[in-house]
Structure 1
Amino acid sequence: MGYIEELRKMVGTRPVILVGVGVAVIDDGGRILLQKRRDGRWGIPGGLLELGESTEEAGRREVLEETGLEIGELELIDVFSGKKYFVQLPNGDQYYPVTVVYRTRDIRGGELKEDGEESLEVKFFPLHALPNELSPLFQDLIEHYFVR
Structure 2
Amino acid sequence: MLAAPEDFVPAFVAAWMARDGEALGALFAEDADFVNVVGIWWEDRPAIARAHGYALGSFFAETKLVPGRVKVRQMGDVAVIHARMRLSGQRAPDGSEAAARTTILSFVLQQGPDGWACVSAQNTDVLPGAETYLASDTGLAPQDYR
- Per the normalisation by structure 2, the TM-score is 0.29
Q: Highest relative contact order (Cα 8 Å, sep 6+), 1 or 2?
A: 1
Choose 1 or 2 for highest CA Rg.
2
- Per the normalisation by structure 1, the TM-score is 0.28
Greater strand proportion: 2
